[in-house]
Structures are given as structure tokens and as C-alpha cells.
Amino acid sequence: MIWRALFGRLCISVVTLFVVSVLIFIGTNLLPGDVAQILLGQMATPDSLAALQAKLGMDQAAHVRYFMWLRDVATGDLGFSKAGLGAGNATPIVQIIEPRIFNTLQLTSMVAVIAIPVALFLGLLAAMHPGTRLDRTITFSTLNLISVPDFLVATFLVLVFAVYLGWLPSIAYLRGDETGWGLIRALAMPTLTLMIIVSAQIIRMTRATVLNVMSSPYVEMAILKGVPRRRIILRHALLNAIGPIVNVIALNLAWLVGGVVIVEQIFAYPGLAKLMIDAVLVRDLPLVQACAMIFCASYVVLIFIADMASILSNPRLRYPK
Amino acid sequence: MKEVKVFQQMYRDGQVTRREFLSVMGALGLSATAAGGFLASSSALAATPNRGGSVISASNLHGPDDTLDPIVCTSTIDYIRQCTSYNGLIQIWDNMSLHPELAEEWSVNSNATEYTFKLRKGVTFHDGSAFSADDVLWSMNRHLGKDSPSSIKAFFAAVVEWKKIDSHTVKLSLSSPDADMPIKLTQFQAKIVKKDTTDFSKGAGTGPYLVEAFQPGVKSVHVRNPNYWRDTGQHLDAIEITAITDPNARLNALLSGDVDMMTVLSAKSIKKVEETDGVEVMSVPAGLYGGICCLKNTAPGKDDDFVMGLRMIQDREKIVRSFLKGHGQVGNDHPISPAYGADHCNELAQRTYDPDKAKWHLNKSGISSAELFVAPVQGGIEETCLLMQQNLAKIGFDLKLKKVPTDGYWGAVWMKEPLNVVTWNMRPTANAMMSIQFGPGGNWNDTFWNNERMGKLLKMSLAETDPAKRHEMHCEMQTLVHNDAGMVIPYHTNVLDAKSTKVHGFSNVPLGQLGGNGWAEFIWKDA
């Protein structure tokens, strides 16, 4: 049963990736100008434009270019960055992307490792003491943080910690040889920004799910039996709430993938998301496609984990009639 | 505060130490911060360059198209890198003066069609090989030919050939006279690379800094070239060059000391920089401008009165005061600002805000509404268009503004829509600027204004070596553009950047950001 669901998901994921690649291709093509025009900019002449377009294969019809790309990708070849080729740096996309993926993973995993335990703890804390001042403080601040867009949080943090206090660098500028403290310092601001936004959601959902379970008949039974509240939550309620919570965590991590786009841009962090933005600006389609595929794939995988978590944790979904 | 001055002088002359200086200031009743400030200004005045240290420079734009190949570079970050890796034949420095670089000296024949360059001996490339005439020929020939991707191809359209006379002499022959050729050779794209280079990412030129790492769209790291051929200081041990695209993030990075200099400061942020300790604004008057293109080959721009109406309605003083915060000059509807020096026409009367005349001209044209495409191609242009819209409404003219993004603007809107906005960077010479934009039939004649007399004057002034006659010709050209072309040029903006007060030694070349981008080997940073 599980295997069938798994296989079904896998097929849907491949289709999703394909559809996304078509959408990205069409979207980027709709933007004014192609890579040759952008590279030459204000100084383009009909001659030089035609020459560069031919050199970069931009003189072929859009659908032809798409299928050529698809064929290459199917054989595992991401190709060359067109902007790079135009500027005389023939670097394979794989080489460009590799360090960027590492940087983005470094950032997101740091966020996940810190944000998830903290958020779970605060969520549970709020659920254990519903209606108290503690609960209301947590709820009030998380609701506020959910409502504030991430770029505003980022700007605010920079103002406080970098410009006024001067404790942290305002940009996450990596030299590439940072270790330990230096790395933590460089990553502190973007991590903090993402953490605030991701954990706010998880805190809310953890609290809601646990409280939801707390109002179910078996918990009522446990209360009547005289089981201490702490034990009810940790032993009975939390275990039953784990499915939905994992679901929320996975969804939020997927959201994190989108959040890094803004945060990397604001902190000039050399990650995959910033690479994608730069690539869109010069209409470097193969590079945009490659980045988008990676983002999409990670999103699909996380959503898949979220689904699996809810299926596995719920016997009714596990054994459908 | 006379005592302060005296002690500053003593500190500069090395008669008192830093500690002594500060304690004396304390004795004079100055706070530690104030004393520190005097100390800092003393060391700036001292102008004794400090050797060592490194700087991080943050430009406004970079991406996968960053390049170390001179001929295709088009952005500030590329230009800065060209100046760390390579040298040109001739260099432009303070007050637009020309200095010999890889060409020790040059001479020109009487009608400016033949140049002879004597090349410097004993210069080596980063890989140890010797520099010679072959490298010059190879580098310069890359700008020629139909398929050349060079972004300054137009400057070399008249080149017949580059010829090697001996190992360290080359001769350039031109099909038409060009007295401006030496200035054109100072362009970043005209840097000299080693013959037969295929991989430019090493940046292995003859320049003052060696490329240690180059990651397009991320950063590059450069370290001092120990075998550099001239003594310009090379004060810094290392230079890191990166970009921070977001303007606020870039400014914050400078304010918090994470970078030492940044390019493109918006007028809005000038105040913030001015009131923050340790950073300062760099503002260099330039020929850079924002303007409105009225295409002359189509309505409404082909009506001369319509264009004149738009010129008369420009409240130039207010634009410079309010939108540029004083860091600019009023424009006179032609591109040649006073920054072009002798070629600027002082005699031409300044056009001023005159709604009555504007109304008269617009009525005469019979046009009562129009649509202008506006993108924020340059700081101040959007505000200028809004102001123009308001002032036109007062005289009963309905100007619709169609806002479009800068992204893709040059391919999709510029030179296509009948009314659009434009920005032009300063060119090294008045002639180069005029011929690019107003040469009849030129590729970038963005108002499609084809004036025969203009074409003649452009050619004649290039061949003219008598300064007075040359000035007269330039005046005539500026007057033609001022009255007849399809351009409205309300203002010139200064080149605006910001830097840490610890960094010194920039030039004032208005041809690019941060004193013309060529600072790498000249600047130093206080310890």
C-alpha cells in the first residue's frame, strides 16, 4: 500500500518538474530581451546582436531551444551558462552551481537545526499552559512575526545589529575560508531572519495541533483518570500530534526554500537563490532552468515527506478501505 | 582651535606620537571622539600612504556575465577588474589628463591619420613572458572586423591597420582623421592582453594586481603583483571586488564597515552618509545625464515645436536642487557638460523654465496629449518626468507616463517607443559622445535625428588641431543639438559613490564610478 502511494507520488513529482520547467521557460521568454540583448545592453548594434545571438544559439525558435535543453538534461548535461559564454567564460553550469548549492544548504540546514527544536519547545510550552500570560505572549509575538514580510524583518535586524549596535556584519559575505566562529558570525543575520519567520509558523501549528489533540475524548479520559497534565501532553498528545507536526515542519522547510531567495539577495549571500536572480536578470535560460529545477525538486521532496508523514501517522490513511 | 592645528601639523611631521597627540587633545578639553576625529583628518592631510592591508569594494551589479576579457566588458565591476589585471597604452588620470602607460610616448602626423607608439621595454605579463608589439597588435585587432564582439568597436571604425615597426614600436593608420584617438585608447576595453590568450579568467595581463580567485557573480580576489613595471605605490596587499545589488544592503554594508567603498549612492542616501562618522560621499561632476528622447522620425517628436515645448517646461534648477540634492548641474539640452572641459560651449545661453513659451510652442504644434515611457534607468529621471507631467498639466497639456521596468528596457523600449527616457554615461571626449548619439545614421542615434551639418562638423572637429577653431565647431554642434535634435536634457548628475574615510588616493576622473575605476594601484588604507 505504502509502496503504491510512493510510486504514485514519484510519478507526479516527475510530471511536476516537467511542467515547472515548461512554465519557467515560457515565463523567462516572455520577459523583454534575450541574453544577447541584455549582455550588449545599451551598446547593442544590429550586427553585434545578430553575431552574439548566433554564437549563443539564440537564433533558433524557442521551442527548439527548449527541447534541446530537455534532451541535454535527460542525459544529465546541464550545459553552459549562456551569459558566461557571451562574456568569454565557458564554465559548465554544474561547476557554477556546486558551490552555490553548498552555501544554500549550509544556510538552510543551520536554520533548520536551530529553528525546529526551538519552535517545538515554544509551541509545546504554549500548549501546556493555554490561556496563561506565557501562552499569550508567545501567541502575540508569533502572530506578529507571521504578519511581517521577511525582507522587513531582515532590514530591521540589519539596522539594529549591524548599523546601530555593530555586533554583526550586515552582509553574509563569505570568503570561503571561514571556520567556526567566523562562519557563525557571517551566517548569523540571514539565519536569524529565516529562523524568526519559519519558527513562528511551526510554533503556531504545534500549539494548535497539540491543543486539538488535548480536546479529544481519550485525553479527557486520561484527565479524569488523574494523569498529570505534563504526562498527558508528552506521552499521549504529542505522539498523536507528531504526524501533523512533521507535516508542518516539512511544509515550512519547503517554504524556507522560497524564503532564501529574498534573504540571500538582501544579505548578498552567494547561494543558489541569488544565482537564480542574477541569471534571470541576464536572461540566462539554462542557468535559470537548472536553479529552478533544483528548487522545485527540493520542494517536491519536502512536500512528499510531509504527505508521507501524515499518511504514516494516521492509520486511517495508512489502511484506506 | 589654533592649538589643534599646530598639533595636527606636529603629528603629521612625526614630532608627536599618536598617544601624545590624543593626550594633548584631552588636556585641551576635547573628548576622545573629537580628538580621534582630528587625528583622522590629520592623517588624511598627511597623505603619507600606509602600505599594507586590504579593501573590499562593492559595486551595484554583477552576475554570471562578469568577465576579465577587456573587449566585452560593460559594467563597473568589470572595469575595476580590468584596471587590476591589465594596463592600456595610455592612461587617463586627474582632471582628464593623459599619461603614458604601456606606450612610453606617442606621436601623430599633421592631419591626425597616423599614430606611432613607442612601447615600454622590460614589462612582463603575470606569467613572466615579456610584453612586445605583437601583444598590442593582437589586442587591438580584436576590436576590428564584423564579428568582433567589442563593445567599443565604433571607436575603431576608421582603423586601417595596426602595424608592427619593430619589437617595441607600432604604427596605427586611420582612414579618416581622429585627433581624439589617444583618449579613446584609455578606455577599459582597450587594455592590452597577451597575444593568443584564450582563457581570460586568469586575468594574466601586465597589471598591478594578480588574480587570486575569480568567481563571476560572487567576487574576485587580487593580490599585489611583485614584478610590476612601475612604482605607483601598490599600497594594498589585497583587493576584493564584489557587488551588492540591493541599494540599501550596499549602503548598510558600508555604514557598518563590512566594505570599504561602494558605487552608485542614491541621492536619497547622501544625508545618511554625511551624518555617519567614518564614511564620506564621493561626488564628481560629470557628463552623465538623464534625458527624454523624442523620436524625430515619428509623431509627436517630429514636430519641432512639440520638442521645444518639452524643453521649455523643464524646471532645471528645481530638479538639481530637489532630486539630485545639489549633486549635479542643470543641463542645456545637449550632452556636453562643463566636465568635458574646453569642448563645453560656455557661450550658449542656458535654457530656463518658461511655462508661457512652452504653452506657446505646444499650442503651435497642435498636440495636446502624449505618452512617455519611463523606467528608473537613472536616479532622478522618474521624479523629473513626474515634475514635467505636473507642470504640463498646469498649461493644459496631458502627459501620460507609462512606467516600465529597467530590466530589458534597452531592447524593448529605448529607440522603439516615440517618447522614452534615456541615460548616457560620459564619454572620454565630446566628439565621441556626440558622434555616438547624434552622428547621422549612427547605431545609437536614439532620436533618429539625421542632420547633415552635424555629420560634417563631427568629422571636421576630429581633424582640427587648432583649439579655438575646434571650440567653435563644438559650439555649433552643441547649438544644433540644443535647438533641433529630439533630446531634452534637463540635468547632468555627478558620479556619486561613498567610501570609508580610511581609504585615500582616488582620482577625480568623471568617466566612471569611484574616480574612474582605475584606483587599484593608487589607493591606500589607514592602518
Its ipTM equals: 0.77
**Cα distance from B173 to chain A (closest Cα, Å)?**
24
Q: Determine the pLDDT at residue A1.
A: 62
Which pLDDT tens digits describe chain B residue by residue (527 residues)? 444 444 454 444 444 454 444 444 444 444 444 444 443 444 444 468 889 999 999 998 888 889 999 998 888 999 999 999 999 999 988 878 889 999 999 999 988 899 999 999 999 999 999 999 999 999 999 999 888 888 888 889 899 999 999 999 999 999 999 888 998 999 999 999 999 998 898 999 999 999 999 988 889 999 999 999 998 889 999 999 999 988 888 998 899 888 999 999 998 899 999 999 999 999 999 999 999 999 999 989 999 999 999 999 999 999 999 999 999 999 999 999 999 988 999 999 999 999 999 999 999 999 999 999 999 988 899 999 999 999 999 999 999 999 998 877 888 899 899 999 999 989 888 998 998 899 887 778 999 999 999 999 999 998 887 889 999 999 999 999 999 999 999 999 999 999 999 999 999 899 889 998 999 999 999 98
Residue A235, in any domain of the structure: yes
- The C-alpha atoms of residue A34 and residue B411 are separated, in whole angstroms, by 9
Asked if residue A167 and residue A114 are part of one domain, the reply reads yes
- The C-alpha atoms of residue B86 and residue B185 are separated, in whole angstroms, by 13
Asked if residue A79 and residue A116 are part of one domain, the reply reads no
Q: Determine the pLDDT at residue A32.
A: 77
Asked if residue A33 and residue A145 are part of one domain, the reply reads no
Nearest one of B166, B152, B83, B153 to B117, comparing CA atoms = B166
Question: Is B333 within 8 Å of B481 (Cβ atoms)?
Answer: yes
Residue A296, in any domain of the structure: no
**B253 in helix, strand or coil?**
helix
Asked if residue A140 and residue A161 are part of one domain, the reply reads yes
A204: Cβ contacts below 8 Å, ≥ 6 apart? A123, A139, A142, A143, A146
Q: Of A93, A108, A141, which residue is a domain's last?
A: A93
Asked if residue A107 and residue A80 are part of one domain, the reply reads no
Residue A309, in any domain of the structure: no
Q: Determine the pLDDT at residue B199.
A: 87
Residues B260-269: tens digit of each pLDDT: 999 999 988 9
Is A31 an interface residue toward B (CB < 8 Å)?
yes
Residue A251, in any domain of the structure: yes
Is B62 an interface residue toward A (CB < 8 Å)?
yes
CATH of the domain at A188: 1.10.3720.10
Domain containing A25 equals 2-93
Residues A98-152: tens digit of each pLDDT: 888 988 888 888 898 999 899 988 988 888 888 889 889 988 988 888 888 888 8
Asked if residue A189 and residue A246 are part of one domain, the reply reads yes
Asked if residue A103 and residue A63 are part of one domain, the reply reads no
Which of B255, B256, B373, B378 to mutate against chain A (most A CBs within 10 Å)? B256
Q: From A85, which residue of chain B is nearest by alpha-carbon distance? A: B65
Q: Determine the pLDDT at residue B47.
A: 64
Q: Of A93, A117, A138, which residue is a domain's last?
A: A93
Q: Determine the pLDDT at residue B362.
A: 95
Of residues B349 and A37, more confidence is placed in B349
Strand partners, B503: B525
Asked if residue A79 and residue A26 are part of one domain, the reply reads yes
Asked if residue A37 and residue A84 are part of one domain, the reply reads yes
Span of A23-32, A309-318, B130-139 with lowest mean pLDDT: A309-318
Cβ distance of A41 and B244 shorter than 8 Å:
no
Cβ distance of B69 and A88 shorter than 8 Å:
yes
| Per-residue burial over A201-233, b = 16 or more CB atoms within 10 Å of its CB, e = otherwise | bbbbbbbbbbbebbeeeebeebeeeeeeeeebb
Structure pTM?
Answer: 0.82
Number of domains in chain A: 2
3-state secondary structure B17-41: CHHHHHHHHHHCCCCHHHHHHHHHH
Q: From B423, which residue of chain A is nearest by alpha-carbon distance? A: A42
Residue A303, in any domain of the structure: no
B5: Cβ contacts below 8 Å, ≥ 6 apart? none
Residues of B in contact with A27 (CB under 8 A): none
How many of the other CB atoms lie within 10 Å of CB of B6? Answer: 11
Asked if residue A82 and residue A123 are part of one domain, the reply reads no
**Cα distance from A278 to chain B (closest Cα, Å)?**
5
Asked if residue A104 and residue A36 are part of one domain, the reply reads no
**Partner B, chain A 136-195, Cβ-Cβ below 8 Å:** 155, 158-159, 162-163, 166, 169-171, 173, 175-176
Is B278 an interface residue toward A (CB < 8 Å)?
no
Cβ distance of B411 and A38 shorter than 8 Å:
yes
Q: Of A76, A93, A110, which residue is a domain's last?
A: A93
**Cα distance from A244 to chain B (closest Cα, Å)?**
38
Residue A301, in any domain of the structure: no
CA-to-CA dists, residue B369 to A205, B294, B401, angstroms? 56, 14, 11
Cβ-nearest to B249 among A33, A170, A284:
A170
State yes or no: pLDDT of A253 exceeds 60.
Answer: yes
Is A83 an interface residue toward B (CB < 8 Å)?
yes
Residue A293, in any domain of the structure: no
Residue A182, in any domain of the structure: yes
State yes or no: pLDDT of A287 exceeds 80.
Answer: yes
Of residues A59 and B314, more confidence is placed in B314
Q: Determine the pLDDT at residue A251.
A: 82
Residues of A in contact with B81 (CB under 8 A): none
Q: Determine the pLDDT at residue A176.
A: 67
Q: Determine the pLDDT at residue A2.
A: 67
Is A32 an interface residue toward B (CB < 8 Å)?
yes
Span of A64-78, A210-224, B31-45, B220-234 with lowest mean pLDDT: B31-45
Q: Determine the pLDDT at residue B251.
A: 92
A26: Cβ contacts below 8 Å, ≥ 6 apart? none
Asked if residue A61 and residue A132 are part of one domain, the reply reads no
